[in-house]
Structure 1
C-alpha cells in the first residue's frame, strides 16, 4: 500500500511538472507569433496608425472591403473575427489601446451581436495563451465561467481548446506559417458562386443593453476615436426583420444598413454577403461617412 501511494504521488508530481513545462513552452511560442490570427497580430505588435479599424463578427469580416478604403487614402484594417461577439471585439480594442494604436475611426458591426453578452468560446480561446501575461485579458475573463480552472491549472486551457490553440496551431505558430486571415487587409471575401442557407429566422432575438457595446463606446469616447456603429445587410428571406427596428429604438446612434443590399445574388448565405455584395455595401459606407 505504501509503495502504491508513493507511486501515485510521484505520478501526480511528474504530470504536474510536465504540464507546467508544456504550458511554458506553448505560451513562449505564442508570445512570439504574429501571423496566424488577428488576436496575436494585435497582441504581439507595437503601435500602429489607422484611419479606419473595423471590428465585429463575420458580418464585419466578410462585409467591409479594406482595399476600397485604402483606395480612398484611408489606412484600414478589418479586424472582424468570424464567429466572434462583442466580448472579443471589446477585448481586442483594449489591447490595441494598450499598445498605443492611433485610430481615427472605428466601424463597429453592431446588430445580431447585441442580442448576447457571452464570449464566443472558439474565438475567445485565441486570447488564452496570454492569460498569465496580460492583466487586461485576465480581467476581461475574470467573471467568465471556468476562469479559475483556465487560470490556475497549468496547460488546461491548451487541452480544453486543443482544436484552437493546441499542438497543431502551436506548431504552425512556431514555424511562422502564415494564414489567410491577415491577407487583403483582414477582409475575407466569400465566393460569388457558392450558396449556403438562404433562409434565416431572427424573430426570437432581442437587443440587450449590451455591456461590451457600452465598453467600446466608452473606450472610443475616452480616446477621442470616432465610432460608427452599423447594422449590415441580410437576405430577403429573413424572418423577424423588425429586430433591426428594435436595435434602432434601443440605440438611435446605430446606423441601419440592413436593406442596402437585399438581392440573393449578392449573398453567399442569408447573413453573409458575397464579394460583389460586400463591394456594393462598402461603397455605400464610404460614400456616407468618408
Structure 2
C-alpha cells in the first residue's frame, strides 16, 4: 500500500510539473505574438496614438470602414470583435489605458449587447494566455465563476479552451502565421450572399438598465478625456421587435440611434450585418455627423 501511494504521488508530481512547464511554454509563445489577432496586438503593444478607436461586436467590425476615417486624416483602428460582447470591449479599452494609449475618440457599437453582461467565451478565451501578466485582465476576469480554476490551475485554461488557445493556435502563433483580422485597419467587409439570413427576431431582448461594462467604457473615457460616441447600427427590414432600439434610447439617452440610416436589404449580408456597400454609406454618415472639419 505504501509503495502504491508513493507511486501515485510521483505521478501527481510529474503531472503538476508538466502542467506548469507547458503553461509557461504556451504563455511565452503568446507573449511574443503581434500579428495574429486584435487582442494580442494590444496586449503586446507599446503606447499608441489614435484619433478614433472603434469597439464592439461584429456589428462594429463589419460596419465601421476604418480606411474612410483615415482618408479624412483621422488615425483609426477598428477593434470590433465578431462574437464579442461588451465584456470584451471594456477589457480592450482597459488594456489600451494600461499600455498608455492616447485616444481622442472612442466609437462604441452599443445596441444588442446591452441586453447582457456575460463574457463571450469564444472571444474572452483569447485574453487568457495573459491572465498572469496583466493585472487588468486578472481583475476583469475575477468576477467570473470559474476564475479560480482559470487563474490558479496551471495549463487548465489552455485545455478548457483548446479550440481557441490550444495546440493549433499556439503553433500558428509560434510560426507567426498571420490572419486577416488586422487587414483594412481592423474593418472586415462583407459581401451579399444569396443564402444570407434576412430575418431576425429580437422581441425577447431588453437592454439592462445599467449595463456594467457599458458604464465602465463610459467612465474610462470620461476619466481619460476621451470623447465617447455610442451608437446603434442598422439592421435589415425584416426584423421583429424593432422597438428594442427605442428601449435602448429610453434607458441610455446619450446613445445615438442610427438603426434606420441604411434600410434596404440589398445593403445587408445578413439581417444584422451590412455589406461593404452598406457599411460605406453608414460610415459616411458617421463621419459627416461627428467628424466634420
Q: TM-score, normalised by structure 2?
A: 0.98
Q: Deviations over 1:24-43 (max 9, x none)?
A: 00001111101111110100
1:56-105 deviation digits (Å, cap 9, x = unpaired): 00000000001111111111000000000000000100000111111110
SS of structure 1 residue aligned to 2:169 = helix
Shift of 1:262: 1.2
SS at match of 1:277: helix
Query: Residue in 2 aligned with 1:198?
Result: 198
Partner deviation per Cα, 1:236-265 (whole Å, 9 max, x = no partner): 000000000000001111000011111111
Counterpart for residue 166 of structure 1: 166
On the 8 A contact 1:192/1:276 being kept in 2, the answer is no
Q: Offset of 1:3 from its aligned partner? A: 2.6
Unaligned regions of 5+ residues in structure 2, if any?
A: none
Tell me the alpha carbon deviations over residues 109-137 of structure 1, each in whole angstroms, 9 at most, x when there is no partner: 00001000010011000110011111111
**Structure-1 residue corresponding to 2:232:** 231
SS at match of 2:182: helix
Equivalent residue for 1:83?
83
Q: Hey, what's the Cα distance between the residues in 2 that align with 1:86 and 1:235?
A: 22
Partners of 1:190 and 1:275 within 8 A in 2? yes
Matched, 1:41 2:41: yes
SS at match of 1:180: coil
Normalising by the residue count of structure 1, what TM-score does the alignment of the two structures yield?
0.99
Runs of 4+ off more than 6 Å: none
Structure 1 segments unaligned to the other structure (5+ residues): none
- Counterpart Cα distance in 1 of 2:59 and 2:44: 25
Distance in structure 2 (CA, Å) of the matches to 1:201 and 1:15? 48
Secondary structure at 1:196's aligned position in 2? Answer: coil
How far is the alpha carbon of 1:2 from its aligned partner?
2.6
Q: Does 1:240 align with 2:241?
A: yes
Q: Is the 8 A contact 1:195 1:267 kept in 2?
A: no
- For 1:117-128, what aligned pairs fall within 5 Å after superposition? 117-128=117-128
* Deviation (angstroms), 1:9: 1.2
Supply the distance in 1 between the matched residues of 2:72 and 2:31 (Cα, whole angstroms): 34
Aligned counterparts, 1:96-115, within 5 A: 96-115=96-115
Quote the Cα distance in structure 1 between the aligned partners of 2:34 and 2:216.
26
1:195–1:68 distance in 2 versus 1, CA, 3 Å: farther
In structure 1, the residue matched to 2:151 is: 151
Alpha-carbon distance in structure 1 between the residues aligned to 2:199 and 2:103: 37
CA contact (8 A) 1:230 1:256 kept: yes
1:267 matched residue in structure 2: 268
